[in-house]
Amino acid sequence: MHCPMRKKRPTRDSDFSAIAVPSMYCSGYLDYTVETHASRSMGVMDEFRKQELLCDVVLHVTYKERTVDFKVHRLVLASCSPYFRAMFTSSFKERHAPEITLRDVCPQVVGRLIDFAYTSRITVGEKCVLHVLLAAMRYQMEDVAKACCDFLTKHLEPANVIGIARFAEDIGCTELHQRSREYINTHFNEVTKVDEFFSLSHCQLLELISQDSLKVLCESEVYKACTDWVGWDMEGRAQYLHALLNAVHIYALPPKFLKNQLLSCPILSKANSCKDLLSKIFQDMTLRKLPPAPNRGTQLIYVAGGYRQHSLASMEAYNPRRNVWLKLADMGTPCSGLAACALFGLLYTVGGRNLSLQNNTESSALCCYNPMTNQWSQRASLNTPRNRVGVGVVDGCIYAVGGSQGSTHHSTVERWDPESNRWSFVCPMSVARLGAGVAACGGALYVVGGYDGQNRWDTAEKYQPDTNTWHQLAPMSTIRSGLGECVSTSGTHNEDMRGVCVWRVCVCVCVCVCVFWPFKEHFLGSMLIHAVSRTQTRVCPSRMKNAVGDCPSPTRFAPFGKISGKYRRYCQNVRPFLHIPPLPVFAGLVCVNSHLYAIGGYDGRSQLSSVERYNVARNVWEPRAPMLYCRSAHGVTVHHRRIFVLGQFRH
């Protein structure tokens, strides 16, 4: 049988035209996608470009009397650049022009952008990134611009950030400019040490230091940056010092620092109007006539230490805006019963106890937490170990009040001088007190309540550092120990809190709680001590529940975020701590809007949920809405007109 030869595969158009297509008697449809089709097609286009095939336009790139030609396809450039899309599709003369000249741009950079248009990949050295970003912004190649911004953001440092911020602003790169400004705000103190800082104009410096988002440990850093900038060119810049000082939060400066500047700053000796301004402010500080100092940054509530079957070393921070808790660096040693305060932008923890099945040791440690570095360091130890000690800050010194060591309850008081890093004894209190409420106000140290091992006190006394004497005050209406007090920079202010980030410190025997500003990625910090509160407990708060709060009109408590228990907040207008009269045991005391709030506590028989408010003008205590839980051994602090109560112990 003779078989016909197999037909050859058609190759010409006429061969295909002669083929009959059979009928299909089925339903359905074909849906097929080749994922690599686009990249393969662009790869072929790139080969055409390199071989100069089907190219329909020549780019003459001229830079510094040097011209380089690039043969490309209009369609490819128009597909990835709105700039070229408009050029090739609108009524511009370049629409059909075979040749186009691009001036004042580096040919090497244009070559990189053309490579990206064909391959979706770009590789450049670090020194060329700014040039590529400039060209990408010019030709509206957003993907390349974003890649450059991300790269530059990762490589920001004090030595280059000002130049990059300026460059980003000049080329209209909003994202990079914003990130650079955030870096400058966060690393302000480091940035002011580099040469680029001194190239700022007075307007640029004024804009920088006027931001409330500036993150500094102490306002003295802002002041010194201004005087250093003026000193760089004294003759040309002295005229701007007064305007710069008006942007500095002068009332937030530590009084000792301001006094030293008035005595020894060479720039002030040549600027009489500025010296007069600072002298007037220093006089106001001396007379306690201090207006509210503006706050810089965002405030967090910090909780350190505590007890849960054993003393804890952990520290966490609560962000009220985001309702989240952040884990921070642990303390060096587990500790409960500690006290805390803030001084010149740093958090200090004092005393406490390390309690576990294997250990029960009172502490004499003074530990310092730096929010800029998220690190702890040691300072000089107390002369006497003190558990459930109270602390306060007056005239730039830390006072450790009362506490206990074993069965011994202290009436003694120690003072720490940060300049000499030494503790010294001052005049003792009239009685021994542990778990007492301690606060500084108007240049004096106030101590309320407490426990001497036999008696729970309703008494209060005030210490005057200038005379080294104690004075008795009106007693509280109810016995309360473990009392925490609050001093706020809102309203009437005192110099004791100057120069620190808004540390709202509140300490429990089990936990130390503090409010200040987050630095770096998760903590920030200029500081102006906003409140100092402290409460203590003698027992393990294994049943720690939510904190408490209330709004003044409806007077009710509402829950907020929790750590290992619940927390609530109480709303009011923040006012500084003014008085110490009537108050139960292991209670919280805060000052809000010229009123004192006594919250919960222990009266020797049971834990309390009651809340009292002291009316300064009428010298009476008034009942307020009770908390949802009876509680003692809780921490209390004020944050943005709300009273936060954290933790508790309940039988």
Closest CA to 288 of 483, 487, 473: 487
Q: Give me the helices (H) in 90-200, please.
A: 107-119, 129-138, 142-154, 161-171, 174-186, 188-191
Dist. CA 19–CA 492, nearest whole Å: 98
Residue 521, beta-bridge partner list:
none
Is the C-alpha dihedral spanning 420, 254, 447, 587 positive or negative?
Answer: negative
Say how far apart CA 237 and CA 248 lie, in whole Å. Answer: 17
Measured CA to CA, the distance from residue 9 to residue 30 in angstroms comes to: 24
For the entire predicted model, the pTM comes to 0.72
| Of 529, 338, 349, nearest in space to 441 by CA | 529
Asked if 465 contacts 394 with a C-beta cutoff of 8 angstroms, the reply is yes
Q: Return the bridge partners of 342, or none.
A: 347
* Residue 278: strand, helix, or coil: helix
Q: Which residues of the chain register pLDDT less than 70?
A: 1-7, 289-295, 297-298, 478, 480-596, 616-617, 619, 638, 640-641, 647-651
Distance, in Å, from the CA atom of 60 to the CA atom of 469, rounded to the nearest integer, reads 86
Cβ atoms within 10 A of the Cβ of 124, count? 18
CB neighbour list of residue 292: distance below 8 Å, 6 or more residues apart? 489, 490, 491, 493
CA–centroid distance for 644 within its chain: 19
Q: Yes or no: is domain 201-286 CATH 1.25.40.420? A: yes
What are φ and ψ of residue 463, in 5° steps? -105, 130
Q: Specify which residues 569 forms β-bridges with.
A: 558, 644
Residue spans of the domains in the chain: they are 37-155, 201-286, 300-646
Q: Are 331 and 348 in contact (CB under 8 A)?
A: no
Cβ(214)–Cβ(208) below 8 Å? yes
CB 347 within 8 A of CB 339: no
CA distances, 107 to each of 51, 66, 145, 152, 640 (Å): 19, 9, 18, 22, 56
Burial 83-118 (b: 16+ CB within 10 A, else e): ebbebbeeeeebeeeeebebeebbbebbebbbebbb
How distant, in Å, are the alpha carbons of 143, 221, 248, 404, 531 from that of 490? Answer: 48, 22, 18, 33, 9
Q: Give me the architecture of the 300-646 domain, per CATH.
A: 6 Propeller (2.120)
Tokens of 645: 């109560």
Residue 470 bridge partners (DSSP): 463
CA–chain centroid gap for 104, Å, is: 43
Nearest to 531 by CA among 570, 505, 561: 505
Q: Is 2 helix (H, G, I), strand (E, B) or coil?
A: coil
Burial label for 466, CB within 10 Å (0-12, 13-18, 19+), is: exposed
Q: Which CATH superfamily is domain 37-155 in?
A: Potassium Channel Kv1.1; Chain A (3.30.710.10)
- pLDDT number for residue 75: 95
Beta bridge partners of 339: 350
Query: How many distinct helices (H) and strands (E) make up the chain?
Result: 16, 33
Question: pLDDT value at position 584?
Answer: 34
Which of 203, 218, 289, 163 has its CA nearest to residue 528?
218
Structural contact between residues 284 and 497, judged by C-beta atoms closer than 8 angstroms:
no
Q: What is the pLDDT at residue 391?
A: 87
Q: Residue 569: what pLDDT?
A: 40
Residues, the chain, total?
651
CB count within 10 Å of CB 135 equals 21
- pLDDT for residue 524: 31
